[in-house]
């Protein structure tokens, strides 16, 4: 998928993400110890972060903010799980680690793309 296609998909998806965020935040107010709402919100922010990195690699501050939100929400979800040897605990820990890992890989990839573009510009000018 091209960066332009990601941008269009992100614009379309943002409406549904905003709706879901509102709903999950309302449930968190009603049931603050329910880990799944935090996990679903973290998934939303993680997805937004991935799309932000791909569609706007020059705007990494927004992606970093979304990453922090996702990681904080995964931490809250993990904190709500009572049994630290249960499948939900491990799934959440893996989801958090995967989000952090993919963010780093995509950022490195984006930086390499920018670096190669700058290298191309420098080669043309000389």
32-77 per-position pLDDT tens digit:
999 999 999 999 999 888 877 777 777 778 888 899 999 999 999 9
Q: How confident is the model at residue 109 (pLDDT cuts 50, 70, 90)?
A: low
For residues 98-104, average pLDDT: 83
pLDDT score, position 3 = 66
Q: Where are the domains of the chain?
A: 3-125
- Closest Cα to residue 53, out of 102, 118, 115, 121? 102
pLDDT score, position 45 = 92
pLDDT score, position 16 = 82
Classified by CATH at the fold level, domain 3-125 comes out as 1.25.40
103: left (phi over 0), alpha (psi -120 to 50) or beta: alpha
**How distant, in Å, are the alpha carbons of 7, 39, 41, 53, 101 from that of 26?**
28, 14, 12, 28, 30
């Amino acid at each position: 998928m091209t960066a332009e296609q990601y941008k269009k998909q992100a614009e379309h998806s943002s409406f549904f993400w905003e709706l879901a965020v509102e709903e999950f935040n309302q449930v968190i107010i009603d049931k603050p110890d329910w880990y799944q709402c935090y996990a679903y919100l973290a998934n939303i922010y993680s997805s937004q972060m991935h799309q932000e990195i791909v569609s706007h690699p020059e705007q990494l501050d927004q992606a970093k903010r979304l990453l922090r939100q996702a990681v904080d929400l995964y931490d809250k979800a993990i904190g709500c799980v009572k049994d630290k040897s249960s499948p939900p605990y491990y799934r959440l820990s893996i989801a958090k680690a995967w989000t952090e890992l993919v963010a780093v890989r995509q950022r490195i990839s984006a930086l390499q793309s920018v670096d190669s573009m700058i290298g191309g510009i420098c080669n043309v000018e000389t």
